[in-house]
Amino acid sequence: MALAALLWGLGGALAGRFMREIPPEVLIPLRFLLSFLLLLPLVLARPPHPDERRRLLGVGLALSGAQAFYYLAIHATTVATGIFLQYLAPSLLTLYALLKGERLPGRALFGVGLALLGAYLLVVGPEGLRGGALGVAYGLLSAVSFAAYAAFAHGLRTPAFVALGVATGVGALLSLPVLGLHGEKVLALGPAQWGAVAYLVTLGTVVPFGLFLLGVRTLPARTATLVAMLEPLSGALFAWPLAGEPLRPEALLGGGMILGGVWLNRR
């Protein structure tokens, strides 16, 4: 799970360097479609268990929602606001667990709050949340979708990368009409842009999301999404040498608080 977060953070740090020129209406459908085609041989070789096919559809719909609402959120607000709102997912799962009557230790609840505050300091900082009500709504929907993605995937018996193949297939099917409307933009992509797409598909989607599904097979969804909050911390660390972005003192404090929150929820 931590390795998945590191790869997502690396992708975020590199995004400013070589993915800025690819419009989201092209990038998102290509990400789903090419990931699905890459994983299709695994899906055909080891078809999902019949009892889990409906559940895998839920995983695919949740993954599609998490990605689509996240991009809509950062388009309507800012990247920092979108990332922070998406990582409300562990807080939502913790609230859901409490409403179901689960008894969570006080240090675990304190850890979730500590990590959430750390994420705010790290990602948002002194500028604060920006954007209108619609952008915030998109961000909250991305958090709900991400939480549902982890919850649906917990305990799956289907191999992780086969499950991801089905999930990206659902995303590809839903986004194909968008790709068809913007076919001329796909044809206009140059070699550098296709290289960026190839990176995003392999090390930004297939590998980290597959690792996430491997981890959430045994790790509770609440803990899994909390560990995934290492993404903005790793992104900030990678952005320092790769994009020349300085590490702010409050960002270092926020990163330490995220690590502390994850540690308090380690059991």
- pLDDT, tens digit (0-9, with 9 covering 90-100), for 151-202: 999 989 999 999 999 999 999 999 999 888 888 888 888 888 888 889 889 9
Q: What are phi and psi of 215, to 5 degrees?
A: -70, -40
DSSP code of 240?
A: H
Q: Are 208 and 8 in contact (CB under 8 A)?
A: yes
Task: Give the tens place of pLDDT for each residue, 235-261.
Answer: 778 777 766 667 778 878 988 999 898
Q: How many CB atoms lie within 10 A of CB 259?
A: 16
The pLDDT, as a whole number, for residue 160 is 94
Give CA separation, 11 vs 85, 116, 180, 199, 237, in Å: 19, 22, 26, 8, 12
pLDDT at 211: 95
Whole-prediction pTM value?
Answer: 0.87
pLDDT band at 61 (very low <50, low <70, confident <90, very high): very high
Token code pair at residue 266: 């380690």
Helix, strand, coil in percent for the chain, rounding step 5: 80, 0, 20
How high is the pLDDT of residue 23?
Answer: 78
Q: Residue 102 pLDDT more than 90?
A: no
CA distance 183 to 261: 44
The pLDDT score that the predictor gives to residue 249 is 82
**Alpha carbon 153 to its chain's center:** 14
